[in-house]
Amino acid sequence: MAAKSGGANRRRITIALSGDVMTGRGIDQVLPRPCDPRLHESHVASARDYVALAERASGPIPRPVDLAYVWGEAPAARRRLKADAWIVNLETAVTRSEDPAPKGINYRMSPENAACLSAAGIDCCTLANNHVLDWGMAGLLETLETLPALGLKTAGAGRTAADAAAPAILELAAGRVLVFAFGAPSSGIPPD
């Protein structure tokens, strides 16, 4: 639909938003190239335990699954909405780092499995959340290298404060969208 604004014709832009997407733990374990399943949680020692819980509730999960499997009906919903872009808050470090932050819950998925994000048709991942540093700076840097290599834009984290504050720029057929992402220490994000 076209709308007039300031004399220029503009098309409406539809954006699909998904909050708190976590592709680590059991999700990573059923994908083709998972990280070491060891967890640093007080109540669960292996990410495979989460797969077993899911199987008890819903039946067997094949292994390995196709990269798009973990998204279920979400890509079809985006198509029905005719969304021009899909933006998610990725609450998972994309890394094989073995240096977990001392916090008790550390989400990560292997970089080799990160293509599940692009397989779903995701365009941008916001990273300003309490899990992006679960595997320290090494994990963050690997995340920042992996996602753009898959064609995914990122916002909310960077090598410098200026990079982290800069928007992701989505160039869409209907126009340009700037995506900003910010977090606060009150939501579990380190202040530095």
Average pLDDT, the chain: 93
Q: Within a domain: residue 49?
A: no
Q: Within a domain: residue 32?
A: no
pLDDT digit string, tens, across residues 29-85 = 999 999 999 999 999 999 999 999 999 999 999 999 999 999 999 999 999 999 999
Residues near 169 by Cβ (< 8 Å), separated by ≥ 6?
153, 176, 177, 178, 179
Return the pLDDT at 189: 78
For 138, what's the count of Cα atoms within 13 Å in the CB-facing half-sphere?
8
Alpha-carbon gap, residue 85 to 55, rounded angstroms? 32
Predicted confidence band of residue 8 (pLDDT cuts 50, 70, 90): low
Alpha-carbon gap, residue 96 to 100, rounded angstroms? 10
Q: Within a domain: residue 12?
A: yes
Q: Within a domain: residue 95?
A: yes
Split into its structural domains, the chain has a count of 1
Say what the pTM is. Answer: 0.91
Domain of 112, in residue numbers = 2-22+72-187
Q: Within a domain: residue 40?
A: no
DSSP code of residue 38: B
Q: Within a domain: residue 111?
A: yes
Q: Within a domain: residue 157?
A: yes
Look at residue 88 and tell me whether its pLDDT is greater than 60.
yes
Predicted confidence band of residue 188 (pLDDT cuts 50, 70, 90): confident
Return the pLDDT at 1: 41
Q: Calculate the CA 35 to chain-centre distance.
A: 16
Cis peptide before 64 (omega within 30 of 0): yes
Structure tokens at 110: 């292997």
